[in-house]
Amino acid sequence: MRREIPEVPLHKFLKHSLEILKNPLPFHLKNFTQKGDIFKLNVGFNTKIYFCRDAALAQYVLQKNQKNFSKSKIQTKDLVKYVGEGLLTAEGEKWKKQRKMMQPAFHKKQLDYLLSGMQETIISEFKNIPVNKKVNVFPVLNDLAFQTVVKSLFTKAARPKDMKRLQFITEANQRMLVRELRQPYLAWWFKNGGVLNKHLKLAEEARVLLKRLVEDRKTSGKRYDDLLDMLLETRYDNGEGMTEAQLIDEILIIFTAGHETTSNALAFTFQLLAKHPEWQEKIFAEYQNLTAEGLDLMSRVSNSKICQQVLEESMRLFPPAYFIDRVNIKPDSFNGLTFEAGCSLLFSVYEIHRHPDLWENPLSFLPERFKEGSRPFSAQYFPFGAGPRKCIGNNFALFEMIIAVTELVKDYRIYPEFETIDITPLITLKPKNAFLRFEKRKCND
């Protein structure tokens, strides 16, 4: 039986456009509540976007029939102009070749080489946390995640001044892309007023900076066993390596996707731990037990099950990649819904993760629900995406976050300096008020 998809008219979109620019999630929730788990939004010029929080449809699109769906122009065109055509933004055969070639660099065995550097960077960055005073922890965690990516990619070869500039460019261009996506009616002004050109010049500056780093590594003859070495040594089936331009695209993607989502997830996790101190003590006890067993760093990280439960639940409530977009190549149908070729589908991971039909007490922080891991929820839990295009760096991110949480909790107790956890949805889901207070643990704790 065919099901009609309810529509939200253009005038309602325009009426709420300023609110949507700041935070579109309340507008989406209202429509999901009123119209069901899928609705189409008329955004003008005969353009409709299908918003969905149907987990079964998401699984169908991302996994079961993924060959009939590509990413939307948001990533394949809009994002490409800032970060190039890397693994995140490429499509078709190019994506398949890149994924196959790069996958070994992100295997757990390879990541083992990077863990001690991660830990060293995290411990160094946590020294910047003021004690016994109200502090916005997000800038600290943003720097931490960025520096962890820098260390993992370049060891100590990158100049701090260059990396600070790269961080600025990455974040400035993300803010610009948000404006383009949420204010499509201003496209003419962005282009003709010089705003867009200014940001494209920033993107080119980032490429020049990275090109110099890659050339320095090639001419140095030194080996660091970092991600850059791994990427330089990867080969396609024909035995050739990546071109320099392609390598720089991939590095830009790693910087853009690799630090942003991690810093967001950590900030939300620490806010949740501040509100639920009993879980701080469980993580602390787990750390002490694992340390007493004399495990190496990889074994300790792999066995930090309680910490992982907390992180899984944090990413359920506040998924950094809170939307997933796809466009169907050929006409398609699912459960009575029909889609002509070229439909833009946006899946709200945020709403799927909070859907009352899928989760018991969906708005409550209950890490114990992940006691058996996330596999039991694979049909409705997508913090790193799903299917063949699941984030290649998911293990890298999870290991980094486990180290960060345990290193902080073993030395500090965390207290909230906020009432409720507020959000800022940009390209990723950012915290708005991550104000915390840290107290040093006593030696006999």
SS3 for 222?
A: coil
What pLDDT was estimated at residue 73? 85
DSSP 126-176: HTTPPSSS-EEHHHHHHHHHHHHHHHHHHTT-S-HHHHHHHHHHHHHHHHH
For the stretch 193-213, pLDDT in tens is 889 999 999 999 999 999 998
Average pLDDT over residues 347-356: 97
What pLDDT was estimated at residue 188? 83
Going by C-alpha positions, the residue among 122, 57, 46, 34 that lies closest to residue 345 is: 57
Distance (Å, whole) CA 82 – CA 177: 9
For the stretch 320-336, pLDDT in tens is 999 999 999 999 999 99
In the predicted structure, residue 45 carries a pLDDT above the cut 70: no
Q: What is the mean pLDDT of the chain?
A: 91
Give the Cβ contact number of residue 167 at 10 Å.
19
Q: Mean pLDDT lowest for which of 77-91, 174-188, 379-393?
A: 174-188
Contacts of 26 (CB under 8 A, 6+ apart): 19
In the predicted structure, residue 44 carries a pLDDT above the cut 80: no
Gyration radius from the chain CA atoms: 22
> How would residue 77 be classed by pLDDT, with cut points 50, 70 and 90?
confident
> How would residue 344 be classed by pLDDT, with cut points 50, 70 and 90?
very high
Domains of the chain: 53-440 (1.10.630.10)
In the predicted structure, residue 84 carries a pLDDT above the cut 80: yes
Average pLDDT over residues 93-102: 90
> How would residue 371 be classed by pLDDT, with cut points 50, 70 and 90?
very high
Phi, psi of 225 (to 5 degrees): 55, 35
Q: Mean pLDDT lowest for which of 68-77, 251-260, 347-356?
A: 251-260
Average pLDDT over residues 90-96: 90
